[in-house]
Structure 1
Amino acid sequence: MNDTAAPTSFLRKIIIISTLGGLLFGYDTGVINGALPYMTEELGLTSLTQGLVASSLLFGAAVGAVFGGRLSDYNGRRKNILYLAILFFVAALGCTLAPNVTIMVISRFFLGLAVGGASVTVPAYLAEMSPAKRRGRIVTQNELMIVSGQLLAFVLNAILGTTMGHIDGVWRIMLAIAALPAIFLFIGMLKVPESPRWLVSKQRNEEALQVLSKIRTESEAKAELEEIKANYEAETDVKQAGFKDMATPWIRRIMFIGIGIAVVQQITGVNSIMYYGTEILKDAGFTTEAALVGNIANGVISVLATFVGIWLLGKIGRRPMLIGGLAGTTISLLLMAVFSSALEGSPALPFVVLSLTVTFLAFQQGAISPVTWLMISEIFPQQLRGFGMGLTVFCLWIVNFFVGLLFPMMLSGVGLSGTFYIFVALGIGAIAYVAKYLPETKGLSLEQLEQQFRNHGKKPEEKKAEVYSKRA
């Protein structure tokens, strides 16, 4: 018992500290949901400038994801998260003190750089610190922290909106709170080690063994170090991973799958609810204060569903979980579209819409989001991880950016019902993509996954048999 207690305890500390980056990710993306109605009145926002304020963070996140991946390869995962904590703090203060729309958009862009960097670096760090058998649950704890950050934002928005909504600048208080977790993240990351896989990539094998010895038993640490070293030595052909390596078929296949997973997660329309949930409920018939309170249900179900998702990842495969989640979200959106039209003007409509957004988020956060962030963190080999995750999450945030920018205009242009019909069509396309292209990755180490991709999905023994049959 004593042999495993210390490694487990230290690994738990690493998980808690590093996932504060996920908490910041969630709070900073969720806080705009409640701040936007008050900001709209004070800064005189239109549907276009509403979209710009919400989506400027997302565009920044797209850029941050690309550079975050490359910088984490260069500086190390731990040091990169330290830099991101500083950026989170400075940008949060910029948003809080913004005197006009221009400064707000610029500050939100820089906040997005931090969010994007965290969305790449934290899952990669967790995946590289985790034992293969526990990787699914550990990496998806970052997703739990993301939705917890969003719930925290929704709760604080509701409290501040209902008690201080009559005070000018209440939205500034909502935005300022994000500076506190950034301080805790910075202090905490000073006390945790660097990723052993990154250390091996820099020929710092002794340090890597020291880190592994703190989070594994002695025998596991030595065995895992040898596996990492052997895998790294076999990757000399992609040592300087970049766009030129896309010419290699197995790398191109990984990138196609990674980008596809990222796009699939966003075209469900989840972030239209996470960013504009208050506006959706107001459009359905709630008052601003009632919408803020009702929106807490979206945050609560997101957290509870993520617990279920973490549990499910240990029980069933990634493919069936993702397909089931997409089926649930698509049906929920279809019902929202139908009832938004059929019950227009009815006092029951806001409650129907709220119950359906809760159902939608149960499927999204209980299946789609955990699988997305886990697979993005695990399918890329070490030498491709920074570039691959950076490009993949860049595409995720770009799609997210367009959803955030266009949603207010779609809402005012084609209405609630028409907007959700568009997402239904996209959901059907997402199900078809996953069913055709997504491989199963459950139960394989990062190194075994790489070998399967190199062998075009065949197991090593199948590949050998194929070679021998060709020779014969």
Structure 2
Amino acid sequence: MADFDELSADLDMAQLAEKRRRHIRLMSCLGICAGGLYGYALTSLSGALVSMNIGSGHLGHLNASEQGMVTSSLLLCAALGSYLAGMFNDRFGPHHLILTGALLSIPGAALSALAPNLLLLILGRGIIGMGIGMTSTIVPIYLADMIGVGERGRLVSINSVMIVVWQLLAVSVNAVLNQLGAGWRSMLWTVMVPAVLLSLIALAIHDSPAHLVRHGLHTEAVRLLHTTHGGSEARDTYDSLVKENRQHQNSEGKPAKATFSTPWLRRILVIGIGLGMINQLTGLNIVNYYAPTIFVSTLGFDPSLSILTTVPVILVSALASVIGGLGLIDRFNRRTILAVGLGGTIVFLIGIGVSYLFIESPNGSKTAAWIMIAMMMVYVIFVQGLVSPVTWLLLAEIFPASIKSRGMGYSNVAMNLSNFALSLFFPILLNGLGGSGTYLLFAAINIGSLVFALAMVPETRGKSQMQIEQEARERG
């Protein structure tokens, strides 16, 4: 097999360098649309829940368990989509899996909006979940593979930042549709927009250098590396991919199935699964899903007004995500960002829980309810500005190339199953433990998350994949 210099000899370096700028723009668009589909699909339901009329409750509204089933069906199927993406990425490549996930979301959105009964609504949401499970697993690691070390933090973080920005767009669109008198079906139809946009972007992307090397397409891999990385980093990345590919071939010279048979790889998998769970155990998505319901129960808002008042909460979330995910992510160490974010999350979850003691008192303090909403906004800043972007980024960085797809797949399964459990049981917890008990329980869980992060999570800022793997081997 020819070496890097031989494979590079006939390439037009000036032309490839010129393509690098267009490549960065394409990757940015991919992150915007992939994060957009994930965030919009998750949040578009929040405004629709309060007016759905295909349930068994009063006037056809959904009861607590039905709300949990509709919300969690997407997340349960997202876990399945994540698992399948991790299993099949090495075989079919990121291009095909991202396109498949995007295309699945289109009929899922149509079925959700047209569903004549609860069962078909749950099925439609499940199909969307399969799609976003695949894209949310593959896109972060694909972006990390397709970007140089110096730009990796910001470019990968675009994906997680856009989740929140599109969540803001979802609640804003829901509020406008509600004010115009449009029903909940209109809110679910709008999921088609990010699904179609991501499908179009997916048609324009290439498979990653890692996938090309794995399948023996070395000339194509070198050409792509000169476009995506350039200079000595392209050479180092290629040499690292070739070396790792040789180490993970069977006796016939074909790629062997990725395993976690050695202690250091199992340790990385535990860290990945832990990070995936931390991303959800902050409890943020229960705010995104159930904020209108919380406003109705604590402040006595009319359901239509509660949809409108969700907008400033998500606006604060989006601003925090942009500032933290794009402004801070490459300025401070990943572990520092995660520790500060979890610390702030714990403090304000306790504050929300204490506020609920006064809200749920016999006199039901409205002042305490407004204080609780204010603390919820600050809590959102810590989660979306610090915890969420850094956990997504770490997941894209910590796994070696040989197990990256499966590792990210398992981590995303853990993330989506955690989200599934929270969305399914939150209405029941709220009814059973009350607001105070529920949020204090989340505070205790996040203390455990902070201990895990400090004990286990490695620092990856400014390090190549080779350095990250070498340090992981030494720790393991």
TM beyond 0.5: yes
Partner of 1:426: 445
Structure 2 residue 33 is matched with structure 1 residue 20: yes
The question of 1:404 aligning with 2:417 is answered no
- Alignment match, 1:298: 313
* 1:35 maps to 2:48: yes
Distance change in 2, residues 1:432/1:153 (3 Å)? same
What TM-score do you get using the length of structure 1 for normalisation? 0.91
Work out the CA distance in 2 between the residues paired with 1:210 and 1:247: 34
Determine if contact 2:90/2:405 at 8 Å carries over to the other structure: yes
Provide the C-alpha distance between the structure 1 equivalents of 2:212 and 2:317, rounded to a whole number of angstroms.
36
Aligned position for 1:347: 366
Q: Helix, strand or coil: the match of 1:247?
A: coil
Question: What TM-score, normalized to structure 2?
Answer: 0.90
Percent identity (aligned): 33
**Runs of at least 5 residues in structure 2 that lack an aligned partner in the other structure:** 1-13
| Corresponding residue for residue 336 of structure 2 | 320
Query: How far 1:328 moved relative to its partner?
Result: 0.7
**Which of 380, 397, 409 is 1:361 aligned to?**
380
Give, in whole Å, the separation in 2 of the partners of 1:32 and 1:229.
45
Indicate how the Cα distance of structure 1 residues 65 and 42 shifts in structure 2: closer, same or farther if over 3 A, else same. farther
Q: Contact between 1:158 and 1:292, CA under 8 Å: does it hold in 2?
A: yes
Match of 2:76 in 1: 59
Gaps of 5+ in 1: 458-472
* Equivalence for 2:403: 384
Whole-angstrom CA distance in 2 between matches of 1:181 and 1:261: 26
Note closer, same or farther for the CA distance 1:437–1:277 as it changes in structure 2 (3 Å cut): same
For 1:240 and 1:43, how far apart are their aligned partners in 2? 54
Question: In 2, are the aligned partners of 1:301 and 1:361 still within 8 Å (CA)?
Answer: yes
Q: Deviations over 1:360-394 (max 9, x none)?
A: 11000111111111111111111101111111110
User: CA contact under 8 A between 2:292 and 2:303: conserved in structure 1?
Assistant: yes
Secondary structure of the 2:445 match is helix
User: Does the C-alpha gap of structure 1 residues 387 and 3 become closer, same or farther in structure 2, counting only changes over 3 Å?
Assistant: closer
CA drift of 1:42 comes to 6.4
Q: Offset at 1:9?
A: 3.0
Alignment partner of 1:309 is 2:357: no
Query: Contact (CA 8 Å) 1:8, 1:216: kept in 2 or not?
Result: no
1:467 matched to which residue of 2? Answer: none
CA distance in 1, matches of 2:200, 2:42: 23
Q: Deviation string for 1:4-26 (max 9, x for gaps)?
A: 55413322222213541210100
1: CA distance between counterparts of 2:248 and 2:468? 14
Q: In the alignment, is the contact (CA less than 8 A) between 1:120 and 1:390 conserved in 2?
A: yes
Alpha-carbon separation, structure 1, partners of 2:125 and 2:17 = 44
**Alignment partner of 1:447 is 2:466:** yes
Q: Does the aligned pair in 2 maintain the 1:284–1:353 contact within 8 Å?
A: no
1:171-186 residue pairs with structure 2 within 5 A?
171-186=184-199
2:73 & 2:232 partners in 1: Cα distance? 48
Q: How does 1:115-126 map to 2 (within 5 A)?
A: 115-126=132-143
1:141-160 matches, cutoff 5 A:
141-160=158-177
Shift of 1:123: 0.5
Q: Secondary structure at the match of 2:51?
A: helix
| Alignment correspondent of 1:163 | 180
Report the Cα distance in structure 2 between the residues aligned to 1:356 and 1:42, rounded to whole angstroms: 34
1:139-189: per-residue Cα shift (whole Å, max 9, x none)? 11100111112111110111112221xx5xx11110101112222221222
Which residue number in structure 2 is paired with residue 278 of structure 1?
A: 292
**Deviation digits for residues 89-126 of structure 1, max 9, x if unmatched?**
01010101111111111111111111111110110110
Deviations 1:187-233 (A, max 9, x none): 22222222111111111111112222333336553443233223332
Name the amino acid aligned to 1:347.
K
* C-alpha RMSD of matched pairs (Å): 2.0
Which residue matches 1:254? 268
CA–CA distance in 2 between the matches of 1:32 and 1:433?
Answer: 32
Specify the alignment match of 2:4 in structure 1. none
Deviations 1:308-336 (A, max 9, x none): 22222211111111111011111111111
SS of 1:246's equivalent in the other structure is coil
Count, aligned residues: 451
Contact 2:44–2:170 (Cα < 8 Å) also in 1: yes
- One-letter amino acid matched to 1:230: K
Q: Aligned partners of 2:148, 2:189: CA distance in 1, in Å?
A: 37
